[in-house]
Amino acid sequence: MNNVVMKFGGTSVADADAIRRLVEIVRGEARRTGAPPVVVVSAMSKVTDAVLRMASEAATGQRETITAGVDELRQRHLTVAEALVPAAQRGPLVEQLEQQISELRAMLTALSILREASPRSLDGVASAGELLSSRVVAGALAASGFDAVWVDARRAIVTDDQYTVAAPLTAETEAALAREVTPHLAAGRLPVLGGYVGATKEGVATTLGRGGSDYSAAIIGAGIDVAEIQIWTDVDGMLTADPRVVDTPRVVSHLSFGEASELAYFGAKVLHPSTILPAVAKDIPVRILNSRKPQVAGTMITATPPRNERPITALACKRNVTVVEVTSTRMLMAHGFLRRLFEVFERYRTAVDVVTTSEVSVSVTIDDNRRIGDIAHDLREFAEVAIEPEMALLCAVGENLRSDPAFAIRMLAGLDGIALRMVSQAASRRNVTVVLRDADVALAMSQLHDAWFAQPETPKPLEAVR
Ligand code: ADP
Ligand code: ASP
Ligand code: MG
């Protein structure tokens, strides 16, 4: 198919001006490809944080904040709808927004009465952000002359019931997309969906994990086999370092699927870590683009990008992770020890990122430390445990590392003077990761970035790379 999926993140739908830019970008793509795209949008910026905060306040019985919080969200969406859709066409949209807002208010009130916020109820609340924003964007596109139709993501993406981190069910989702999305495209209509949101087979709303709209776009793109998945965001593409940490990162023009996955997994927030999986399955290119600078080429992610000359492709960091060091002089060499150790993390559904071992100890890092008390308690049944909070992962990624056996040594030399807690090189040899104090990560990343990315690359226009 010629169709593309275009995903716009929170800042790219934040207000009326942002949505006007979105409309023009969509117009350009529809013209270029000669086919309507599928548009996937995030909640307006900060809305997901706001509704989740309201849910946890409601669960602790703070009912007063619900009214003000929901009123503010209502006003924000109605104001944008008024700015983008002429009064004569606005009636049905306003009604749908009001309906969604009332549902949100009712859910929050229920949580405040029950004093609970289970993962399942949180997903009901969290899905409101994307359901609202996608209605507004569909309305704005329709008002600008597109034959745009709103598609309920809860009917298009079928997931398991791991609420707040649900995984898509591939066969069921393909069938749902064939029913809910493909017929619109075939008829020349432009489908608009909220990202991040899905539903179980029974139709209960789920979410794909924070930042999950990228993943939705890829699931939809792979499900209907589009020509390209576009992630429109607020930076020029995948950058050589985290722009919140390093002042002058550069755009990486091409990445492999493998490099993009590693960078996303190790903290490059511009992509949700699962985004690449559906793209790999169908070999669909993913492009990251800046919705404020639509003429700039951005980053292209494919299976086999052209070779670049740099020793590494990019750096990423994951901040505020926790190191758990498990020591057992008696048991480490005994078989079964590692199984027992990892079973504890599994019991508390806590993912481990980096692992290193010595004769008497195993150190692991975890990102989510909500269950750390339980984890430490269970580990102490058979080992000594030391917890180090406020640590960070710093990761160098690149296909070229495979053919550069001395890279790790140069990386460590480049970090001279900074205390490293763990070092790991994956067997794929596509990444080298160090664990250090969070307070040192800015200096460490800048030092490595200065060493490897001193030469700026001039961004190319998008037209030049098509
Ligand atoms: P969106 O709302 O469009 O999904 P996100 O905030 O989720 O946007 O992701 C974009 C942000 O990711 C950027 O503003 C930037 O701060 C952050 N980021 C972290 N690492 C990188 C990186 N290597 N390249 C680009 N952006 C990065
Ligand atoms: N709105 C969701 C979040 O803030 C999903 C996304 O933006 O991708 O996590
Ligand atoms: Mg995001």
What pLDDT score was predicted for residue 64?
Answer: 84
Ligand 1 center from residue 270 Cα (angstroms): 3
pLDDT, residue 406, reads 87
129 lines ligand 2 (CB under 6 A): yes
**Going by CA atoms, what residue is nearest to atom 8 of ligand 2?**
211
Q: Ligand 2: distance of its center to the CA of 197 in Å? A: 9
Name the residue with tokens 């999950």. 212
Ligand 2 pocket check: which of 11, 40, 41, 48 to mutate, most ligand atoms within 8 Å of Cβ?
48
Predicted confidence pLDDT, tens digits, the chain (466 residues): 789 999 999 999 999 999 999 999 999 999 999 999 999 999 999 999 999 999 999 999 888 889 999 999 999 999 999 999 999 999 999 999 999 999 999 999 999 999 999 999 999 999 999 999 999 999 999 999 999 999 999 999 999 999 999 999 999 999 999 999 999 999 999 999 999 999 999 999 999 999 999 999 999 999 999 999 999 999 999 999 999 999 989 999 999 999 999 999 999 999 999 999 999 999 999 999 999 999 999 999 999 988 888 889 999 999 999 999 999 877 666 778 889 999 999 999 999 999 998 878 999 999 999 999 999 999 999 999 999 999 999 999 999 988 888 888 999 999 999 999 999 987 777 899 999 999 999 999 999 999 998 766 666 888 888 8
Q: CA 383, CA 119: separation in Å to the nearest integer? A: 32
User: Most distant CA pair in the chain: distance in Å?
Assistant: 77
Cα separation, 361 vs 18, whole angstroms: 52
Residue 405 has a pLDDT of 83
Q: What is the pLDDT of residue 187?
A: 97
Cα 214 to ligand 3 centre (Å): 6
Q: Three-state DSSP class for 321?
A: strand
pLDDT at 331: 65
Helix (H/G/I), strand (E/B), else coil: 420: strand
Put simply, whether the predicted model's pTM sits higher than 0.75 gets the answer yes
Which tokens sit at 320? 């505020």
Q: Does the C-beta of 195 come closer than 6 Å to ligand 2?
A: yes
Query: How far lies 15's CA from each of 77, 93, 352, 437, in Å?
Result: 9, 16, 38, 38
Nearest protein CA to atom 1 of ligand 1, as residue? 9
Q: Which of 40, 47, 132, 210 gets mutated to test ligand 2 (max ligand atoms within 8 A of its CB)? A: 210
d(CA 247, CA 395): 18
Within 6 A (CB) of ligand 1 lie: 9-12, 42, 211, 233-235, 238-239, 242-244, 268-270, 314, 316
Name residues whose C-beta falls within 8 Å of residue 167's C-beta, 6 or more positions apart in sequence: 159, 160, 208
Contact, 33 vs 25, CB < 8 A? Answer: no
Which residues have C-beta under 5 Å from ligand 3, the single-atom ion?
9, 211
Produce one character per residue of 12-34: b if its CB has 16 or more CB atoms within 10 Å, e if not: bbbebebbebbbebbeebbeebe
